Amino acid sequence: NGHTPESNVDVLIIGAGPAGLMAAAWMAHCGVKTRIVDKRNAKIYCGQADGLQCRSLEIFDSLGFGDRAWKEANHMIEICMWNPGADGVIRRSDRIPDTIVGLSRFQQIVLHQGRIERFFLDNIKKYSKDTIHVERGVLPESLEIDESKIDDDSAYPVTVKLRHLSEEESTPEQQISGSKVSDGLFRSNLVSKDDEEDLIAKSKSRPGTGEVVHAKYVIGCDGARSWTRRSLGFELQGEATDFIWGVMDIIPITDFPDIRMRCAIHSAENGSLMVIPRENKLVRLYIQLKEVTPDASGRADRSKITPDLIFSAAKKILSPYNIDYEYCDWWTAYQIGQRVGTDFDAHGRVFLAGDAVHTHSPKAGQGMNVSMQDAYNLGWKVGLVARGIAKRSILTTYQSERRRVAQDLIDFDHRFSRLFSGRPAKDVMDAEGVSMEEFKDAFEKGNLFASGLSVNYGPSNIVTKAGDAVEQGDGTKTVLSTVTPISQEAFDKKQALAKGLPVGMRFNSFKVLGQADARPFHIQERLKADGRFRVILFAGNILSATQKARVDKFCAALNAPGSFLRAVTPKDKPIDSIIEVLTIHSAKRTDTELLRDFPEILHPFDKHNGWDYYKVFVDDVSYHEGFGDAYNNYGIDKERGCVVVARPDQYVGWIGELEDFDELQKYFEGCLVFPSKA
């Protein structure tokens, strides 16, 4: 049927869920030519994921829409635990804060996935100048990697055939036809087979529905049953359990006192329930379905699962309290299992992110968060490599950094789900039951992991720390090309310069003031997701002559013709285009002057715009927002300071003294392309 259109694109993203949208957001912020396709049309949206952890909010803020989520969401402040007393009746046994106090400037919130996807779409539109759109009703039919071209930076080694579906084909079927309430069963893991082959076959019969795309990089974010993963021949390893859970988003009518708290409820005999208070009066209930069990093949019959069945289970668990509803927004059911992908990339050209490489139960509110965090880790790397700014070798760090997190996630979920789905122990002698003390303890410990803030990346050419191998969690190790191998002893000395900024972890935030305008900023607000690396010069006491001499020397090296800063910056671009230098000093604000005390390279001059007033900050007391006390909180010497590198995703990549300029130079030589040197 005639001519099939053929085109080139730098990055092709398959799937526009949270992971795919995060990847697309990076491409928009980095200015990379990108397409993103999804087999579904946009029409149904409610339900699905809703919990947003602190790290995800920090990430949203770096992209520019943290405030939208924060404002619209329901805020989760306290968790209440309900367990059977000696009489078998449920009662509140404990209260704990939902987010560990002091961990982040954000706390956990809940807002449904559809809104979050909306924020992404608006952000992508803005930053891509309306060039990146989600193409709905489009899915891949084949994927081939030309291995002879994978080392050629200018080649498009991945060829993907795409199919365009009709409106009808791209609308998923609902479980109960004609019902006004949407269900999410078409995405649930209770559905074993996907409909891709049928869809492709149908649309093939119409002419003009095919297209060929040649891509430099492909990112498969196509969810738990990932077509991309299957077409690469990779697997998810792990197992399903017998635990089946239902989910309902309702406006409850109830006398249960904690319905606006997050609750973990274990009934004596009827299973467990989790309460998630939501935006717009909604409450989500996660309900254990003891009456539905998998058959011999390990799968439950989803046709048996209805909102009535799910809700009657909830009523039993909550009794003697009453619960009813008139409005249901959405419902679904799933079978708990934990699986992790064997491989996260093929030839450093095709990558998998999100549910495509890890699946687990949704109750801990992790899937969407970890999926977005995968893509947040991957996106800037692919973006900078596609633009010729970073070396292709940094792409290997995606798997080494994220597979470990995926493994930790499923271990966490396994433990947590077992404790949650198990029957509460009647007394200490009841070995088969779950100890409620153990559950509470796991919950509290799990909160740190769940926040996304315990992630600690291993050594690589973008994380300078001791060691040369990264544990994959499953016993295997990946050996990375550490560019500047550093002994444990030498590294410990560097880390001691700023104990509060562990290398490999995200740059923690405290408030500092603008030197020029005395306005308080959270330093993280200045670490925007624009694809730039940042060198943060903790300049120490700039008013001491000895320290000033050290700062001057560091700046002279930065300014020298062969410095990494000059080498990575294209001749016609501002000096902060690829790497931005930010300064935080510790002298008194009112005794210091921006233009007098700080070398020009720290607040570059531009003949059209004058001095840059937003690069030098001070650790001092504010008028209205207290004292961030950043140096003390980071554990940095107020006289001598130190130098820290933050990667474009805000992870600490390097720490050193002001005299360690050569090592800093090597860090950037290891990961960035130096065009002016070539």
16 forms part of the interface with ligand FAD (CB under 6 A): yes
- Candidates 227, 412, 491, 507; binder of ligand FAD (CB under 6 A) is 227
Considering the complex, state which of residue 110 and residue 636 has its C-beta at the smaller distance from ligand FAD: 110
- Tokens 């803020």 belong to 61
- Candidates 137, 223, 422, 641; binder of ligand FAD (CB under 6 A) is 223
- Candidates 9, 12, 13, 14; binder of ligand FAD (CB under 6 A) is 14
DSSP letter at 431? T
DSSP letter at 600? G
Cα 144 from Cα 350, distance rounded (Å): 10
Closest CA to 531 of 388, 643, 399: 388
Cα 344 from Cα 116, distance rounded (Å): 25
Catalytic residue among 140, 252, 362, 459: 362
19 forms part of the interface with ligand FAD (CB under 6 A): yes
Q: How far is the CB of 17 from ligand FAD (least distance, A)?
A: 2
CB-count exposure of residue 47 (10 Å: 0-12, 13-18, 19+):
buried
Cα 20 from Cα 41, distance rounded (Å): 15
Q: Could you give the residue ranges of the DSSP H alpha helices within 244-366?
A: 307-318
- Candidates 13, 27, 49, 537; binder of ligand FAD (CB under 6 A) is 49
CB-count exposure of residue 41 (10 Å: 0-12, 13-18, 19+):
middle
- Candidates 64, 157, 362, 653; binder of ligand FAD (CB under 6 A) is 362
Cα 475 from Cα 493, distance rounded (Å): 29
Considering the complex, state which of residue 134 and residue 584 has its C-beta at the smaller distance from ligand FAD: 134
- Candidates 36, 57, 139, 350; binder of ligand FAD (CB under 6 A) is 139
- The interface region with ligand FAD, picked from 31-39, 69-77, 504-512, 522-530 by CB under 6 A, is 31-39
50 an active-site residue?
A: yes
Considering the complex, state which of residue 19 and residue 250 has its C-beta at the smaller distance from ligand FAD: 19
Taking CA atoms, 122 is separated from 60, 198, 233, 528, in Å, by 12, 33, 35, 17
452 forms part of the interface with ligand FAD (CB under 6 A): no
246 forms part of the interface with ligand FAD (CB under 6 A): no
**Direct distance between the N- and C-terminal alpha carbons of the chain, in angstroms, rounded to an integer:** 48
User: Checking phi first, is residue 504 left (phi over 0); if not, alpha (psi -120 to 50) or beta?
Assistant: left
307 forms part of the interface with ligand FAD (CB under 6 A): no
Contact pattern for ligand FAD over residues 314 through 343, marking x by CB under 6 A? ------------------x-x---------
15 forms part of the interface with ligand FAD (CB under 6 A): yes
Q: How far is the CB of 189 from ligand FAD (least distance, A)?
A: 8
Q: In this structure, how many other beta carbons lie within 10 angstroms of the beta carbon of residue 495?
A: 18
Considering the complex, state which of residue 156 and residue 227 has its C-beta at the smaller distance from ligand FAD: 227
- The interface region with ligand FAD, picked from 297-305, 354-362, 547-555, 573-581 by CB under 6 A, is 354-362
Considering the complex, state which of residue 176 and residue 496 has its C-beta at the smaller distance from ligand FAD: 176
Considering the complex, state which of residue 334 and residue 661 has its C-beta at the smaller distance from ligand FAD: 334
Contact positions with ligand FAD (CB under 6 A) in 518-547: none
- The interface region with ligand FAD, picked from 96-104, 367-375, 406-414, 515-523 by CB under 6 A, is 367-375
286 an active-site residue?
A: yes
Considering the complex, state which of residue 120 and residue 554 has its C-beta at the smaller distance from ligand FAD: 120
Closest CA to 259 of 308, 306, 200, 322: 322
- The interface region with ligand FAD, picked from 17-25, 233-241, 471-479, 546-554 by CB under 6 A, is 17-25
Considering the complex, state which of residue 18 and residue 84 has its C-beta at the smaller distance from ligand FAD: 18
The footprint of ligand FAD on this chain (CB under 6 A) covers a number of residues equal to: 36
Q: Are 47 and 184 in contact (CB under 8 A)?
A: yes
355 forms part of the interface with ligand FAD (CB under 6 A): yes
Taking CA atoms, 581 is separated from 39, 283, 591, in Å, by 42, 46, 23
Q: CB-based contacts of 546: which residues, under 8 Å, 6+ apart?
A: none
Considering the complex, state which of residue 26 and residue 661 has its C-beta at the smaller distance from ligand FAD: 26
Contact positions with ligand FAD (CB under 6 A) in 406-445: none
Closest CA to 537 of 623, 658, 446: 658
Catalytic residue among 50, 249, 576, 619: 50
Cα 397 from Cα 457, distance rounded (Å): 9
CA 238 to chain centre: 22
- Tokens 């329930």 belong to 273
Instruction: Provide the annotated active-site residues.
Output: 50, 278, 286, 362
- Which positions lie near ligand FAD, rule CB under 6 A? 14-20, 37-40, 48-51, 139-140, 184, 196, 221-223, 227, 247, 332, 334, 354-356, 362, 365-369, 371
